Structure 1
Amino acid sequence: MTTLTDKQIRWRNRIIVALVLFVIAFAIEKAGLLEAWFDTPSDLYAELVLFLVPYLVAGYDVLLKAARNIGRGQVFDENFLMSVATIGAFALVLFPDTEPHMAEGAAVMLFYQVGELFQSYAVGKSRKSISDMMDIAPEFANIMRDGQLVQVDPYEVSPGDEIVVKPGERIPLDGVVVDGRSQVDTAALTGESIPRGANPGDEVISGCVNLTGALTVRVTKPFEDSTVSRILELVENAADKKARTESFITRFARYYTPAVVGVAAALAILPPLLFGQEWADWILRGLTFLVVSCPCALVISVPLSFFGGIGGASRIGILVKGSNYLEALAHAETVVFDKTGTLTNGTFTVTAIHAEGDTTEDELLALAAHAESLSNHPIAASVRQAYAGPLDPARIQQAEEVSGQGIRAVVDEREVLVGNGRLMDAAGAAWHDYELVGTILHVAVDGVYAGHIVIADQVKDDAAAAIAALRKAGARKTVMLTGDRADVAEAVAASLGIDEVRAELLPQDKVAQVEALLEAQAQANPKGRLAFVGDGINDAPVLTRADIGIAMGAMGSDAAIEAADVVLMDDRPSQIARAISVARKTMAIVWENIVFALGVKLAVLALAAVGIANMWMAVFADVGVAVIAILNAMRAMNVRK
């Protein structure tokens, strides 16, 4: 629960004092004590003083703000409206023949302040959900100097320096573990509660908490380029990018407020001047109209709803760069995916080994692993990883890479070829094709075909569930774009239930495909939007071109944070549907508040103009509606982890 700040506590206490004084004044007035104690019209002036006390206790700061803003040329704001309406209610004492309205004047100011306190609390709570993300900022880094560990500002640490992160401390900079083993809590960045292992050679990023063992980390980036620094910058700038709905409300209030002040003035002055009507009656109507017209509910609740939605999303590791992107995400109908690293793990794994002739599967894998032992290619790494035994350099006499074909090596004094069909053809090895999904490595020993190894990129555990969740969330079409072979891409798409697949694409081809899909989306529904989901490293052009660019698995990826509009901090595709759900819930709350606030205001404005609505109805139409809208807006930040 969000605790009140010292300022809010003082504010609350002042409202409580004013409320107690108001109740006492109201009880004295209703009991007829003023008439008993004072003569007419002295009792009326006594009532004025009696209600003026709680009025000033509650609203002196509003009066000061209104005066200060008028001096700056900022006349038509809510402080001005409240000041004019409440001072006008007290000014009706100048018309002794009318029913006094001092109680209503004090009540308007008192309940307005209650609404403002609610707003302050709601904004504070929403800001806290975002500032929880800001807690990832490290305060210091431990660095060894003259044999002593000293705490320094993270900005003072340079790439290449080694820092020590003790158990319980937050990792201050991005780097690579050079010594120590531990578990790392990434919840602040990803929303995940399960810690990740950190061992020598593993990359670790700033903002995570070291849990179990001390780690020595070699820093790879200066603090200003670190993951935590970029995320903090993103969060701080999120409020600057307004949604079209939010911008419309701001523009609406700019023209609406002076317009209703003019109408209220005309309502108060013209009927008495032109038609000889009672001044007190029409001034009261004008003042009531003025109180009702205050656009507090709209100008407060709409930005607060977007702010709450961004804050709620950040709690589950979804960073939205602005409310305009949240609004666009709510209208996402076409979702386009990159394949490698987005729907699949992006790491190749040996899925099958088929040996032929006298060669066993174990021998085939051992020969291929030794032949690939010096290669840096990801496929070579997957073969070495699949081989359980130690790699013995003494067994390898020679190894060379044949460009575009594979590896030629001498292992155990036998020539071993590992590669594609062209390499086999060049050696005269009688290989044959297979109906298998994945990359096939053919192996020949001394010119004789010995079998093949199948390498495939594994689909992520929650990828199929993610596609199903997107359909449930209202996505009309899912598309996969990939540079991989058509048969591999189609097999992945079929297993996940993706509608369309475009394979064997170069990076520039992906942009052209997204252009075509954008055009198709515009024809199907101009209000619908296209979201592209990629890993952010090689998909920057497409992320930028789509209506909404979503980068996933962005921990440590500068390109992802830079290029995308929405950043998912972990590798789970299921977060995409959650991001859309948060966006749609937020937009639903925004429109609920707009319709409710405008509906009540227009109804009571009409009643005020014809003299049916009194000041108490005006209080509800202004403060009551604002409080209800604020409470509704606070629902946007309630996102379950």
Structure 2
Amino acid sequence: MGERSIKREFVLEGLDCAGCAAKIEKNVKTINGVDECSVNFVTKTLTMKTADEKNDTVVSEAKQLISKLEPDIRIKDKVKGSAESQVLFLKGLDCANCAVKVEEYVKGIKGVTAATVDFVSKKLIIEAVDLNTMSKIVSDVSVSIPKIEPDIEVVIEQNSETYEGGENSRIKKVIFRLAAAVILGAAGLIGGFGTAVELPLFIISYLLAGGDILLKAGKNIIRGQVFDENFLMSIATIGAFAIAQYPEGIAVMLFYQVGELFQSIAVNRSRKSISDLMDIRPEFAVLKVGNETKRVAPEAINAGDIIIVKPGEKIPLDGLILEGRSMVDTSALTGESVPREVESGNEVLSGFMNTNGVLTIQVTKTYGESTVAKILDLVQNASSRKAATEKFITRFARYYTPAVVIIAALLAVVPPLIIEGAAFSDWVYRALVFLVISCPCALVVSIPLGFFGGIGGASKSGILIKGSNYLEALNSVKYVVFDKTGTLTKGVFKVTGIVPKGDMTEERLLEYAALAESYSNHPIAQSIIAAYSKEVNKDDIGNYDEIAGHGIKIEVNGKTILAGNKKLMSKEEISYTEEDGMGTIVHLAVDGQYVGYIVISDEVKEDSKKAIESLKALGVKKTIMLTGDTKKVGEAVGQKLGIDTVHAELLPHEKVEQVELLDSQKQKGEKLIFVGDGINDTPVLARADIGIAMGGLGSDAAIEAADVVIMTDEPSKIVTAIKIAKHTRKIVWQNIIFSLGTKGIVLLLGAFGLATMWEAIISDVGVTLLAVLNAMRALKVDRLS
């Protein structure tokens, strides 16, 4: 191994210009000793890697250079621990309203800078100002949350096997308790024992069915947290007992508990489906020490260690193959079904599945820095960035429940006072029906589950979406701005045209060109030699002369061959054909006679044209391409692909200016996305509404810079991402309309005395279960690709 690298981060206070960020990044990269450098314009952070022994010198030089380039910027070391993050697992969290309640409580704790409860993964993510404050906060929430929600246990690490065992045990206890309640309730209803026996049977049945709900409601009232589903069910069923509707009171509590049980099972299965979908975490690594091997945790492996991966095993860490050849399945990361062939000298990434050969790999990154760890972290924490629809539903539920309780109270009291002959018990019953159907669980549970399913499904297709907010924003995309090289084109020079003149053949023209370029290491020369594909006999070459800025002059078997640009042809006074080919033109002449030209260009990706067409079919108003290439080449690529507008010969800061101009032209609610390679386009990615990085597989810069990362080099995946977003939105709004519509109908029927409590609770449970099941359709994205 070479020198150990050190990663350093600096805050660039006063950095308000994306072009300045690009300039700083470009210049710092040129400093001797800087291995990697990126400037995040959004967070004003400069990250660079330097060789261990050169670190202090390089950092000092970088600071001086930045001060010279941008005197107004103040450079500060980014203090580790200045913002601490902690993830806690909320074991037993099965109620979406409880998740909202916990989140609001934690946000109010002194020292908490941000807090999010992810109901789907049962995670509480807390950010605090420093490590000491975080320790106090964790101690506080570990004690306070179980008081707010007695069923929740706060744990720092999740043990899935223990958790699943505990869940199964809890479910069995609930089923046993509800079965006992059904038996006692049925005995009281059909036993004919008389009121003295029936009433105690009903009361015991009711307490078995809903005693825990009453307890939760009572504790919440004491704490001043009145309006939740426990309160609604308690008031409704106690009211039923007050008007002697004992069987209905018991039935409502039973159905509610059964519904909660089914909801818990459905949500947990949904969680497991998403977890299985992202089952890319390696369980072990086989470490080679001398001539021996041993199984260890991936986290225990250091960069530079040697690991062995056998057929059928996941590659646990990123690394370089030292020995072996195999086919690897990359579908878990890229969504590609066709395996790739790898051999000695190739790089491989964690998460790949080795299919048929034994590989000896030198690890290049620790597990925490590996591709699989970053992907898992992105997907699992994506729902912490909530979509506007999620935020709206959370706020809606907060005001909806108290409003329903007030309306129910008015419904119970006002009509008997103003309607002659109206029975108080009748209107109380109607109000109780109103309360039962009003529970907002279907909305609060199914909507985050739908977004999380969409993110999980996208990740299986090789598309990483960093938050529900970005997934939702993809629905409103009207402008798509592309970088050219590496995005719409392959970024690799290739011979795309051989045009002989006179009696010359394509084969002979290419041979002459290969002979002329055989001593050059220039990418254009290498592309000609690659196209020739035969071994060049350099012994035939005589009097090799490289003419700077023009081309090459050689002699082969007594013939003088010229290969170069039009300036060479003019210099040698050779009449040539002016061509507007899409790329670099290499003109050739033999013994003073023009014999043709070869076109070398950055080859357009196979699915670029299809991607542009599909984007327009999805309702995108305008497609734009930005490139630093010549106007002729840029316009030729744009015309070939059907791009609406091409801006060529742009410097990095001019790309930002073009995006800002487009942004000012779009209408309210419309979104603009920029698609680039994620490495040199950081300022533009940050400036767009949604930044999409192409070819993020193995690129740390791409994963960090963009809002959406496409792990392959296929532009068509942009279309897939938008389709997944539309599919997810459709499901979310189906649930919103279905839930509110059904509840609205039953609320009206209840108010007019046309619905019973039985119908109300069955409707509520049924709507919730159907909404959860419908949300799981968001995972099914295969047909959208």
TM range (shorter): 0.7 to 0.9
Pair 1:513 & 2:678 matched:
no
Instruction: Classify the secondary structure of the residue corresponding to 2:632.
Output: helix
Q: How is 1:173-212 mapped onto 2 (pairs within 5 angstroms)?
A: 173-212=317-356
Pair 1:154 & 2:288 matched:
no
Task: Kindly state the Cα deviation for residue 13 of structure 1 after the two structures are TM-superposed.
Answer: 4.3
Amino acid in structure 2 at the alignment position of 1:258: P
Q: Which residue of 2 aligns with 1:458?
A: 603
CA distance in structure 2 between the partners assigned to 1:358 and 1:612 by the alignment: 94
Q: Which residue of 2 aligns with 1:48?
A: 202
Task: Kindly state the Cα deviation for residue 238 of structure 1 after the two structures are TM-superposed.
Answer: 0.4
Pair 1:599 & 2:741 matched:
yes
- The match for 1:473 among 594, 607, 618 is 618
- The match for 2:703 among 558, 561, 568 is 561
Q: How is 1:9-20 mapped onto 2 (pairs within 5 angstroms)?
A: 9-10=168-169, 13=172, 16-17=175-176, 20=179
* CA offset digits 1:551-578 (Å, max 9, x no partner): 2322112222112222222222222222
Q: Which residue of 2 aligns with 1:84?
A: 235
Pair 1:243 & 2:243 matched:
no
Question: Structure 2 regions of 5+ residues with no counterpart?
Answer: 1-160
CA RMSD of aligned residues (A): 3.6
Confirm or deny: 8 A CA contact 2:676 2:685 kept in the other structure.
Answer: yes
CA distance in structure 2 between the partners assigned to 1:16 and 1:423 by the alignment: 88
Instruction: Classify the secondary structure of the residue corresponding to 2:666.
Output: helix
* CA offset digits 1:575-625 (Å, max 9, x no partner): 222221111121122222222222333333344445444312321342232
Identity of aligned residues (%): 56
Pair 1:103 & 2:247 matched:
yes
Change (3 A) 1:132 1:28: closer
Q: Which residue of 1 aligns with 2:690?
A: 548
* CA offset digits 1:378-425 (Å, max 9, x no partner): 333322322323357777899898776566889999997654333555
Q: What TM-score do the two structures reach when normalised by structure 2?
A: 0.71
Higher relative contact order (CA 8 A, sep 6+): 1
* CA offset digits 1:93-131 (Å, max 9, x no partner): xxxxx5x32222222222223332343334334433432
With 351-360 and 497-506 compared, the bigger mean Cα shift is at 351-360
With 330-339 and 291-300 compared, the bigger mean Cα shift is at 330-339
Pair 1:164 & 2:315 matched:
no
Task: Kindly state the Cα deviation for residue 521 of structure 1 after the two structures are TM-superposed.
Answer: 2.7
Change (3 A) 1:339 1:121: farther
Instruction: Classify the secondary structure of the residue corresponding to 2:282.
Output: coil
* CA offset digits 1:462-490 (Å, max 9, x no partner): 23332333233333333333333333333
Confirm or deny: 8 A CA contact 2:404 2:438 kept in the other structure.
Answer: yes
Task: Kindly state the Cα deviation for residue 231 of structure 1 after the two structures are TM-superposed.
Answer: 0.9
CA distance in structure 2 between the partners assigned to 1:466 and 1:339 by the alignment: 14
Amino acid in structure 1 at the alignment position of 2:254: L
Confirm or deny: 8 A CA contact 1:326 1:583 kept in the other structure.
Answer: yes
Change (3 A) 1:259 1:216: same
Change (3 A) 1:433 1:415: same
- The match for 1:223 among 367, 386, 394 is 367
Change (3 A) 1:619 1:408: farther
Q: How is 1:429-444 mapped onto 2 (pairs within 5 angstroms)?
A: 431-443=576-588
Task: Kindly state the Cα deviation for residue 217 of structure 1 after the two structures are TM-superposed.
Answer: 2.8
Q: How is 1:315-464 mapped onto 2 (pairs within 5 angstroms)?
A: 315-354=460-499, 365-366=510-511, 368-369=513-514, 372=517, 377-390=522-535, 418-425=563-570, 431-443=576-588, 451-464=596-609
Q: Which residue of 2 aligns with 1:75?
A: 226
Q: Which residue of 2 aligns with 1:115?
A: 259
Q: Which residue of 2 aligns with 1:256?
A: 400
Q: Which residue of 2 aligns with 1:532?
A: 674
Pair 1:575 & 2:729 matched:
no
Question: Structure 1 regions of 5+ residues with no counterpart?
Answer: 93-97
Change (3 A) 1:24 1:412: farther
Confirm or deny: 8 A CA contact 2:266 2:769 kept in the other structure.
Answer: no
Q: Which residue of 2 aligns with 1:95?
A: none
CA distance in structure 2 between the partners assigned to 1:401 and 1:73 by the alignment: 86
Confirm or deny: 8 A CA contact 1:11 1:117 kept in the other structure.
Answer: no
Give the total of aligned pairs: 621
Task: Kindly state the Cα deviation for residue 78 of structure 1 after the two structures are TM-superposed.
Answer: 1.7
Amino acid in structure 2 at the alignment position of 1:467: I
Confirm or deny: 8 A CA contact 2:313 2:354 kept in the other structure.
Answer: yes
Change (3 A) 1:315 1:128: farther
Confirm or deny: 8 A CA contact 1:338 1:480 kept in the other structure.
Answer: yes
CA distance in structure 2 between the partners assigned to 1:220 and 1:392 by the alignment: 40
CA distance in structure 2 between the partners assigned to 1:166 and 1:393 by the alignment: 44
With 560-569 and 478-487 compared, the bigger mean Cα shift is at 478-487
* CA offset digits 1:516-536 (Å, max 9, x no partner): 3333331xxx22322222232
CA distance in structure 2 between the partners assigned to 1:415 and 1:66 by the alignment: 96
Task: Kindly state the Cα deviation for residue 186 of structure 1 after the two structures are TM-superposed.
Answer: 0.5
